[in-house]
Amino acid sequence: MKEQDHAVPECSVFVGVSLDGFIARPNGDLDWLMGEGGGDSAEYGYNEFIAGIDAIVMGRKTFEKVLTFDKWYYGNKRVIVLSRQSLDLSVAQARGGVVEQMTGPPAEIVSKLAGSGAKRLYVDGGITIQQFLRSRLIHRLIISRLPVLIGEGIPLFGSLPCDIRLSHIATRTYSGGMVQSEYHIVA
Ligand SMILES: NC(=O)c1ccc[n+]([C@@H]2O[C@H](COP(=O)([O-])OP(=O)(O)OC[C@H]3O[C@@H](n4cnc5c(N)ncnc54)[C@H](OP(=O)(O)O)[C@@H]3O)[C@@H](O)[C@H]2O)c1
- Output phi, psi for 58, to 5 deg: -130, 150
Lowest mean pLDDT among 41-50, 65-74, 131-140: 41-50
* Phi, then psi, of 186 in degrees rounded to 5: -80, 125
The total number of residues shown for the chain amounts to 187
Q: Whose CA is nearest to atom 24 of ligand 1?
A: 59
Q: Which ranges of the chain does DSSP label H, i.e. alpha helix?
A: 46-51, 60-66, 90-94, 106-115, 126-134
| Rounded Cα gap, residues 81 and 77, in angstroms | 13
| Residue of minimum CA distance from atom 46 in ligand 1 | 62
Cβ atoms of 97 and 88 closer than 8 Å: no
The Cα-based distances of 58 to 68, 128, 165, 187 in angstroms read: 15, 7, 24, 24
End-to-end Cα distance, the chain? 20
> Is there an atom of ligand 1 within 6 Å of 128 CB?
yes
Q: What is the Cα–Cα distance from 15 to 7, expressed in whole angstroms?
A: 25
Interval between CA 123 and ligand 1 midpoint (Å): 10
Q: Is the pLDDT of residue 3 over 50?
A: no
Cβ of 59 below 6 Å from ligand 1? yes
Q: What is the pLDDT of residues 43-60, one digit of tens each?
A: 889 999 999 999 999 999
Is residue 65's pLDDT more than 90?
A: yes
Residue 139 CA to ligand 1 centre (angstroms): 19
Cα dihedral 76/82/87/93 (nearest 10): 0
Closest CA to 33 of 50, 14, 16: 16
Question: What average pLDDT score do residues 89-113 get?
Answer: 97
Domains defined along the chain, listed by start: 10-185 (3.40.430.10)
Q: Is the pLDDT of residue 4 over 60?
A: no
Q: Whose CA is nearest to atom 36 of ligand 1?
A: 83
DSSP secondary structure code for residue 54 in this structure: S
